[in-house]
Structure 1
Amino acid sequence: MAPRERPVAAPPPPAAAMRKRGPRKRLKFRAEDVCLERVTVADYANSDPAVVKSGRVKKAIANAVQQEAKSFCGLEASCVPTDEVLSVTESCDSSDEVDSKDSINDRISSRKKKSKRCKENSDDVVGKEYPIDIWLMLASYIRPEDTVNFSLICKRAWTVTCTAAFWTRLYRRHYNRNAILPIRLQPESMEKMYCLRACVIRSLYHMYRPFVSRIARNPAIPEITPSTLKNSKCLLFWSKKVDQQSSLWEFSFKLQRQSPRFKNSCSKRLQPPLRYEDVHMNPDQDCCLLQITTLNFIYIPIVMGMTITLFTINVSTDMRHHRVKMVFHDSPIWSGKKPRFDHGVQVVMDPVHSVRLFDWWHPQFPSSHI
């Protein structure tokens, strides 16, 4: 029996006859072939950014939609040319690169126009301006601790806090007859305009209960005292014996804190109106009182007019008291420079019974108001 012959496979077609595979061309829709049923939301909202990077609608689809809309209205699509309406979209089918550039330019121009409109609106519309009498009436109902927040509302609210009427009313609202006040803080002395704001603030620490409790809660000397007293200028210095029965001595240093030079040159504070300069005058601004009580008398050289460059509090040698060391120089030493302690005046106080620090509004601060 003869074996079956296998069919011979046909030879492959020549290379020239093979069709070259290239990139598929995008289908171009014609306006007459596209109807409204073939247009979906994806053509507008979820269009493929790889096909149309600019996110614009194809002109053919837009023409089809316009023709369908006109047919519903009883109009012929050929009556009104669509070239004028969609002239902006003629360059959408040219290339993706051109579309992306056009979209970027459109976004930049739209942002410029929007910012220009916002600037014009901000220049034209400034909001409502209420008379200063309304702000003065509202200020009669705020708490003393909310004065700063009230002054930050607007410029007129800040102007109200600069007036003498605001501070006089604040004093009368919280005046307490049972409080023991110095002569300068008595109601008869509050008629003076000089240092009125500072006197009212000091009187609140005598009469206003939240401020009085705040002083009671604060420690005698804060932990940040050594850093806050650096570069403070000694204005006055005096010493006295606490009482005749004990051997305690009290040394007081009236210091004025100094801010760095760059802060003084760059900071621009709002200045009160000229008519209320006396109200805001405060000779003790940025001043504090350093009070050190020792177990016996210690000789201290004259340091008035000098600047504290070092202030430390350590444990005394007997491990029961404190030891305070201060170094004074003729001029302040700013950050980045190391002080030379051999050129300064060193003051060592040991043993120390207590160290206290009072700000200018504290009741125990010796006021210099006239």
Structure 2
Amino acid sequence: MRKHDPGIAIEPVASAASVASVASIKPRPMDPQQQIVIPDCCNLGVVCRTLIAVNAVLLAKTLLRGIDFSSVLMQFVESSMLVELACFVSLFVLCGIGRLAYGLPLWAQRLLCAVVPAVVTGSVVLWMSRYDWFLHSFMDMSLVGAVLIAAFFGIALQHYFELRGRAFSPVLVEARLQALQARIRPHFLFNSLNAVLSLIRTEPRRAEAALEDLADLIRVLMRDPRAMTTLENELQLCRQYLTIENIRLGDRLKVQWEREGMDDEVISSAQIPTLLLQPLVENAVHYGVQPSASTSVIRIQLKRRLERIEIVVTNPYHSQTGEALSDGSQMALKNIRERLALLYDVEGQLTTAIVAGQFEVRVRFPYMKTQPIDE
């Protein structure tokens, strides 16, 4: 990928010769040994669902044993002190283990989801047993019972999240995604072929390079929409797309790239769903540049804040295309929202806004590094 200054660079779209081919992009292997069945305990959605489930069971148990509301409330608050501490420590440990679990057999990963909460809960109970108020409040609690309950909750929640991951797999929306891509491909394909035809006699080498870029783009469009790639490869794909569109739009199309907290290492290692950014850039060209007779700037901002990546795509907003934008573009945006939700739960977000005559799409998702692939 072409290197940019960390600051702001306003440039025409790069020539086809300057863009590296994406034919070498390799999808992640589907080897079962490379699968991760440990829930992503770093994810806010997993943390919230775990705490809600555990506290709901605790509240139900307390209600069954309580006599009046005040005693039920007191018992629930006291029990929560122990339960919340054990839950948060277990989630923290599993969060770290989940990042190192590649290569572990599936049975070992499932076993860890039971062993970690059991060990953490046993340690917490032993540590809290040094205090008289704890012994007085939990006189009927045994260490063995607490460990077994924690192990049961651990394996039950792991099984729930594994089944949920399968049930809400992108397979369920793959048909809609393919229908959307089938709608996008002819539109883009016909425009690209017409642009290449206009170059065959006057600039045959440029036409040949454009056809090579078009072949690479179609190859990626035909890939499994569940595949993951790197941010670097996705940016290469966007540049190839912009190169082809530049043939048709000429000087009307200019791109402004910005980086904030994103060095080359982050860009080359950050994991991103395939075809997450390219459809957003395509919408920006179609609805922001194409309707204008003058030069229009598409602004692409790449930001990293803590362990989150934010991508902002901004293009001019034309009121006459507002209805078309709400009908056509919203399908692609809705699809990307679904993919983000399936991959990142509540930590994946896509928002849109119209700010100072500019249509802005903002995508946020966790920064996750690509895992090394054993050849």
Is this a same-fold pair by TM over 0.5? no
| Larger relative contact order (CA 8 Å, sep ≥ 6) | 2
TM-score tier, shorter chain, comes to under 0.3
TM-score by length of 1: 0.23
TM-score by length of 2: 0.23
Q: Which has the higher helix share?
A: 2
Higher Cα Rg: structure 1 or 2? 1
